[in-house]
Amino acid sequence: MIYLDSAATSLYKPETVPAAMVQALQQMTSPGRGTHESAMAAAECCYQCRERLAKLFHVPGPENVVFTMNATHGLNIAIHSLIHRGSRVLISGYEHNAVTRPLHAYGAEPVIISAPLFAPEQFLREAERLIGTVDAVISTHASNVFGYILPVEQLAELCRRYRKPLILDASQSAGVLEVDFTALGAEFIAMPGHKGLMGPQGTGVLLCKNDTTPLLYGGSGSESRSQTMPDFLPDRLEAGTHNVTGIAGLSAGVKYILEQGCGAIRQRELRLMERFAEQLQDCGELQLFLSSKKELQCGVLSLLPRDMDCNAFAEAMGAENVAVRAGLHCAPLAHQTAGTIGTGTVRFSFSPFNTAAQVEKAAAICKKILKKN
């Protein structure tokens, strides 16, 4: 199979990831729940993973690294901590349902930064016009639909100037783009473990700056006499037994990224995407959502067949053993912004483990399917 759906979940991973998971499954139990060898091995594994994540994302200390189930879990904690009924929240026009649905559930009022694809200057002008009227700001770093890299560094500077708390969704950027928690000054940055960080499903990370409000309550392995959650991180947000097997795999994935470097990974993915797009540039049956500026797009490319349903196209690709995703990608707001809400798109997303031969074959299959239609 040619797997071009890494924006959903990374299938190809370093060999060290499953190896670390097997070792954890066989040798580790629960951190903070004993001083015996298996519990201490688990505690060391979790701490090492926090240290690696803190290094990768320039976090003040490993205690500011909280493990979650996924990015959605982390975003819900962040929103629960900062947003209340009636809050006005500035968001980009490319947010995932992991942001918009919690805002709806909390009765917050989203204020959308309306700007077209790959237009960062217009995005920032609109953000500055609106930021004084809101209580907080939430933005994705890169669109999961179009790969559009938003100008989050400049947005973060606006947040600091206007003293507005920032929540960043790094679901498509973590492990691929540089994400500097300290420089951004965000209150929270949420990310999954199973995408660019190359860990397994069921893992996620929330980088936390200061005050937090627990979303879950229960045992933390510390302060057990108290009936309130501990007042210190990460224990305050980590109720219940850790996913040690998943954390071990995540730690191995992060180690790989630290060794390779985000810049090298990004360049590899960009080359693959550009090679794929070049094969389709003369294909009039397709609209490609491709920026002319490399700095504005990560390795995610959406296509729109002009005379074929997106889901039918993706099914035809699957029948040819090419894995892609079609539809709204859990981000209807992004499609409203880009004008594709009525059709959705077919998304191709690339991994550093893909090969040039794979993407060329996938492009040839695209052309074959369109000719048959």
| Position 342 pLDDT exceeds 80 | yes
Predicted confidence at residue 282, as pLDDT, reads 85
- Give me the chain's average pLDDT, please: 96
Same domain? 44 vs 173: yes
Residue that wins the pLDDT comparison between 47 and 210? 47
Q: Is the pLDDT at 35 greater than 90, yes or no?
A: no
pLDDT, one tens digit per residue, over 56-71 is: 999 999 999 999 999 9
The pTM of this model reads 0.97
Residues 239 and 279 in one domain: no
Select from 235, 260, 285 the last residue of a domain. Answer: 260
Query: End of a domain among 215, 242, 260?
Result: 260
pLDDT band of residue 224 (cuts 50, 70, 90) is confident
Q: How many domains does the chain have?
A: 2
Task: Locate 307 and state its tokens.
Answer: 């005379």
**CATH, residue 176:** 3.40.640.10
Alpha carbon distance 3, 11 (integer Å)? 7
DSSP 256: H
* 158-161 LR contacts (CB < 8 Å, sep 24+): 158/124, 158/127, 158/128, 158/131, 159/131, 159/185, 159/186, 160/185
Residue 60 CA to residue 69 CA, distance in Å, equals 22
What is the chain's Cα-based Rg?
A: 21
Pair 234, 101 in one domain: yes
What's the rounded Cα separation, in Å, for the pair 236 and 229? 6
Instruction: Map residue 300 onto helix, strand or coil.
Output: strand
Beta strands in the chain (DSSP E): 2-3, 65-68, 88-92, 109-113, 136-140, 166-169, 188-192, 204-208, 286-289, 300-305, 322-323, 325-327, 345-349
Structural domain boundaries, residue 220: 16-260
Residue 178 — φ and ψ, nearest 5°? -70, 125
Q: Looking at residue 283, what is its pLDDT?
A: 86
Same domain, yes or no: 205 and 267: no
* Identity of the residue numbered 286: L
* C-alpha 343, offset from chain centre: 24
Angle between helices 262-280 and 244-260 (to 10 degrees): 80
pLDDT band at 223 (very low <50, low <70, confident <90, very high): confident
The neighbour count for residue 61, using CB atoms within 10 Å, is 10
* CA quadruple 97, 101, 102, 106: dihedral, nearest 10: 160
| pLDDT number for residue 284 | 83
252-270 per-position pLDDT tens digit? 999 999 999 999 999 999 9
What DSSP string describes 141-185? SB-TTT-BB--HHHHHHHHHHHT--EEEE-TTTBTTB---HHHHT
Q: Are residues 203 and 148 in the same domain?
A: yes
Together in a domain, 119 and 236: yes
* 362-373 confidence digits (pLDDT tens): 999 999 999 876
Q: Are residues 94 and 227 in the same domain?
A: yes
